[in-house]
């Protein structure tokens, strides 16, 4: 069931979104050669708690971290670990949620650490840009398929592929609400977008083939061909005009 938010709920989502966005700024400040992904996770958790919020991911379906931290060929759902030390040349995906007064923000970024390849930088940039292609069509009256089409056509025209097994989603009182928002689709198809819908749009883009698999830890999703993957996510609110960026550190 798609839940349309009223203005009071949207204000709380904006607050949750801002804390989420600021937690990613904490991640950006601290992601460096030599830090473990567990240390990074702890800094993120402390920041969220200091804001009077709780990490949405901690304990979600049993997830042991406050953030998902995924390196290089890992796509999403990497488990923070004191054994995983960030190295020069890594690309690091940090996916964070903060729950504030009953509402969730959900956002992800990919950070380049030290000297990374030109292809990795282009992958990160195309992934971010594909989100903004989706923003152009994320308005009331359009459909979920318009969002997926905008993302996938942009990604493919740049020679990369989108992950199909994992998708964006509604976000609100639950971290994952209806509708599903795939990073592929057909223009004019899928659920209609209404003003007051809140969505997490999150392109996951692979440098090689789209196929992914899950590691034995039951969480970490990796590319099947071992090539790089990037992730970019924001929570947004649909309006009759331009969408509102909820996971914005500026608002
Ligand atoms: Mg996320
Ligand atoms: Mg999400």
Quick: pLDDT tens for 12-42: 999 999 999 999 999 999 999 999 999 999 9
Token pair of 62 as six digits? 């049993």
Distance CA 101, CA 52 (A): 9
In a domain, 2, yes or no: no
In a domain, 250, yes or no: no
In the reported structure, the alpha carbon of residue 39 is separated from the centroid of ligand 2 by a whole-number distance in angstroms of 22
Determine if the peptide bond prior to 225 is cis (ω within 30°).
Answer: no
In a domain, 26, yes or no: yes
In the reported structure, the alpha carbon of residue 169 is separated from the centroid of ligand 2 by a whole-number distance in angstroms of 6
In a domain, 251, yes or no: no
Task: Determine what percent of the chain is predicted with pLDDT higher than 70.
Answer: 100
Give residue 73's domain range: 7-245
Note the ligand closest to the C-alpha atom of 108: 1
In the reported structure, the alpha carbon of residue 233 is separated from the centroid of ligand 1 by a whole-number distance in angstroms of 6
Q: In the chain, how many domains are there? A: 1
In the reported structure, the alpha carbon of residue 140 is separated from the centroid of ligand 1 by a whole-number distance in angstroms of 23
In a domain, 1, yes or no: no
In the reported structure, the alpha carbon of residue 248 is separated from the centroid of ligand 1 by a whole-number distance in angstroms of 14
**CATH classification of the domain holding 166:** 3.90.230.10
Among candidates 71, 231, 78, 110, which has minimal Cα distance to 163?
Answer: 231
In the chain (251 residues long), the average pLDDT of successive 10-residue segments reads 95 98 98 98 98 98 98 98 98 98 98 97 98 98 98 98 98 98 98 98 98 98 98 98 94 59
Cα–Cα distances (Å) from 116 to 87, 160, 163, in that order, read 10, 18, 22
In the reported structure, the alpha carbon of residue 96 is separated from the centroid of ligand 1 by a whole-number distance in angstroms of 6
Tens-digit pLDDT profile for residues 114-153: 999 999 999 999 999 999 999 999 999 999 999 999 999 9
Torsion of CA 206, 67, 90, 115, to 10 degrees: 110
Residues with CB under 5 A from ligand 1 (ion): 95, 106, 108, 233
In a domain, 171, yes or no: yes
Distance CA 248, CA 14 (A): 8
In the reported structure, the alpha carbon of residue 30 is separated from the centroid of ligand 2 by a whole-number distance in angstroms of 22
In the reported structure, the alpha carbon of residue 42 is separated from the centroid of ligand 1 by a whole-number distance in angstroms of 17
């Amino acid at each position: 069931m798609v839940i349309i938010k009223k203005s009071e709920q949207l204000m709380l989502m904006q607050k949750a979104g801002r804390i989420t966005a600021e937690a990613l700024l904490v991640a950006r400040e601290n992601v460096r050669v030599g830090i473990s992904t567990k240390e990074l996770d702890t800094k993120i958790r402390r920041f969220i708690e200091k804001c009077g919020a709780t990490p949405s991911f901690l304990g979600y379906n049993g997830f042991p971290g406050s953030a998902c931290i995924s390196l290089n060929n890992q796509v999403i759902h990497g488990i923070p670990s004191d054994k995983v030390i960030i190295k020069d040349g890594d690309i690091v995906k940090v996916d964070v949620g903060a729950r504030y007064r009953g509402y969730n923000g959900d956002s992800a970024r990919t950070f380049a650490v030290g000297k990374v390849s030109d292809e990795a930088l282009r992958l990160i940039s195309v992934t971010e840009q594909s989100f903004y292609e989706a923003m152009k069509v994320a308005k009331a009256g359009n459909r979920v398929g318009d969002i997926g089409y905008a993302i996938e056509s942009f990604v493919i025209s740049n020679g990369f592929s989108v992950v199909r097994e994992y998708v964006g989603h509604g976000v609100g009182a639950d971290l994952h609400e209806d509708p599903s928002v795939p990073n592929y689709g057909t223009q004019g198809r899928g659920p209609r977008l209404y003003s007051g819908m809140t969505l997490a749009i999150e392109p996951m883009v692979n440098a090689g083939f789209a196929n992914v698999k899950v590691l034995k830890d039951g969480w970490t999703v990796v590319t099947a061909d071992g090539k790089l993957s990037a992730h970019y996510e924001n929570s947004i609110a649909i309006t009759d005009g331009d969408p509102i960026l909820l996971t914005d550190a500026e608002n």
